[in-house]
Chain A
Amino acid sequence: MKPTMVECPRESEVFEAVAFDRVHDVRDHLAECAICAEIADVAGALRAEHAAACREAHVPSAGAVWWRATVRARAEAAQTVSKPITILQGVAGACGVGLAVAVASLVWRSLHFFDSAAGFVARLEERRDEIATASALIVQHGVPIVLALAACFVLAPVALYFALADE
């Protein structure tokens, strides 16, 4: 069962006496007031513990705490500044990969188209010269496209790595 609160009007006076080491000023009252005697006991013990803990505390110097705080704040500020750049680099990398995929699908469709064209040309042998011209065109433009695709596939992961890696 929780205890019913009992108060004494001189509680704060007793606490002040304990805090300023003037318990003898309230000694008579403590002898007759259980509430204030309890406050004096508890407060006295805790004040003594507090004083001992403060004496024994091995706190770092103010300069060290300030320096560590400054270093950390700088690191956080630098990270905050670089975050949008990193995100943009990541988006650019993703766009590159998307573009490469789009180009690849276009080339794939073109190859199918030219396969059909080749069959059509076989049936129309009389137009062999035109077919030869078209094939030369494919070879001429296909090589740079394939090279560009290969470059994209090699460079995109590298770009992503640099974009997403921590400095």
Chain B
Amino acid sequence: MTLSSLERLGAAAAEADEAFQMDEDTFRVFYERTSRPVWAYLSRATGDPRQADDLLQETYYRFLRATATPADEAHRRNYLFRIATNLVHDTRRHARLEAVQLQDGFEPADPRHGDTAAGAARRVDLARAMARLKPRERDLLWLAYAQGSSHKEIADALGLKTASIKLLLFRARRRLATFMGGGAR
């Protein structure tokens, strides 16, 4: 490696640090708050915890390199989930994951980790019911009820109109409740 190559790499390193939208300390705090929910979303949306690991890294990388600088924590979180959602959509497109998911199902996390038998059974029921939904319905329900996102945030993340979220969410919820066995109520 020549001196000019080293100089070039040094300049590139400086550029790389400058290219991130936040410094390391701010990132650490933000990551500690958001990484687990993002991983949970990726894991449930893809149905593959290992893929969620890869997508988690990619999500934060794209977040750090993004030119847009969300003003506050809520916007940053929302932006992060939008990136994660786009990645999940790309993955589905590339790997034809939707067909695979119907076979493998919406994988629940390992129920041996301290859950009661009833809790574990409930999670398996939920997993089976979620596996019967369309990917977009899963995303909608997860963002709305697991993540607690507002309709606007869901619309931003999924690329839908805010006005349509209420109806889509209602239909998805109805279907999930039916599949969970509570639809007759």
Contacts and interface: CB of A to CB of B under 8 A. Distances in A.
How many residues of B sit at the interface, in one of the four size bands?
35 or more
A150 interface: no
B167 A66 contact: no
Contact of B37 (A45, A54, A77): A54
Interface stretch (A36-44, A114-122, A131-139, A152-160): A36-44
Contacts of A34: 185
A49 B122 CA distance: 9
A66 B16 CA distance: 12
B76 interface: no
A59 B109 contact: no
Given A62-B27, A74-B12, A82-B8, A41 B35 contact: no
B146 A57 contact: no
A52 B87 CA distance: 23
How many residues of A sit at the interface, in one of the four size bands?
35 or more
B145 A46 contact: yes
Contacts of A111: none
Interface string B22-35: 00100110011001
Contact of A38 (B28, B31, B173): B173
B70 interface: no
Task: Give the one of A43, A56, A60, A66 with max B CB within 10 A.
Answer: A56
A123 interface: no
Contact of B174 (A3, A48, A69): A3
Contacts of B36: 53-54, 57, 59
A47 B40 CA distance: 11
Given A57-B36, A77-B16, A45 B44 contact: no
B139 to A, nearest CB: 12
Contacts of A65: 31, 35, 56-57, 60
A48 B123 CA distance: 8
A89 B131 CA distance: 54
B39 interface: yes
Contact of B119 (A7, A48, A53, A54): A48
Contact of A68 (B15, B57, B141): B57
Contact of B141 (A7, A42, A66, A80): A42
Q: Which 8 residue pairs of A and B lie closest in terms of their CB atoms, listed nearest first?
A: A73-B16, A53-B40, A50-B146, A77-B12, A62-B31, A54-B36, A78-B12, A46-B145
6 contacts: A5-B166, A42-B177, A46-B142, A48-B123, A57-B39, A73-B61
